[in-house]
């Protein structure tokens, strides 16, 4: 679930959330919230006398930010080092990291294109062999080496 912009809070939306509410709003599970806290990506609120930590609206935004960065291919370590609001990474550092991700993606796309082409050729060959009544499967033979 995408929370949208939770910083402009309607009157009926609470200012603070339990860990379960936070996880649900951010579209993650409770263990993910705790994991982000252990990594220092998400601040852990103090435990009040009631025993239940209360998370501010900003925590939902922070988790959504982390998930968007992950969807763009950044690791949690990279997010912690340059993207987290408390990180001191300069824009040039972020740009260099993103450029490296683009290069990596371009290499992966080239590799996947080769795999796709090889598999498509095998599928074509398989159809030809079946039409000729060949008993052996060329795809299986190619996988066996």
Nearest to 79 by CA among 90, 91, 70: 70
pLDDT single digits (tens) 108-124: 999 999 999 999 999 99
DSSP 52: -
Task: Region of 40 please: left (phi>0), alpha (psi -120 to 50) or beta.
Answer: left
Q: What confidence tens digit (pLDDT) does each residue in 16-57 have?
A: 999 999 999 999 999 999 999 999 999 999 888 888 899 999
Percent of the residues in the chain that have a pLDDT greater than 70, as a whole number: 86
Per-residue confidence band for 1, with pLDDT thresholds at 50, 70 and 90: very low
Distance between CA 138 and CA 99 in Å, rounded? 40
Distance CA 130, CA 103 (A): 41
Q: Locate the domains of the chain by residue range.
A: 1-74
What pLDDT is stored for residue 11 in this prediction? 56
- Please state which CATH class domain 1-74 belongs to: mainly alpha
For the record, the structure tokens of 110 come out as: 């080239």
């Amino acid at each position: 679930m995408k929370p949208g912009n939770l910083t402009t809070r309607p009157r009926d939306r609470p200012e603070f959330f339990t860990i379960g509410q936070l996880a649900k709003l951010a579209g993650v599970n409770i263990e993910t919230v705790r994991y982000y806290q252990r990594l220092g990506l998400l601040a852990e609120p103090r435990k009040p006398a009631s025993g239940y930590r209360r998370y501010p609206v900003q925590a939902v935004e922070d988790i959504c930010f982390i998930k968007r960065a992950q969807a763009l291919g950044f690791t949690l370590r990279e997010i912690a080092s340059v993207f987290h609001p408390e990180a001191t990474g300069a824009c040039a550092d972020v740009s260099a990291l993103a450029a490296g991700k683009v290069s990596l993606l371009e290499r992966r796309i080239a590799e996947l294109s080769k795999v796709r082409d090889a598999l498509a050729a095998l599928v074509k060959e398989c159809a030809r062999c079946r039409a000729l009544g060949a008993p052996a499967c060329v795809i299986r033979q190619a996988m066996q080496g």
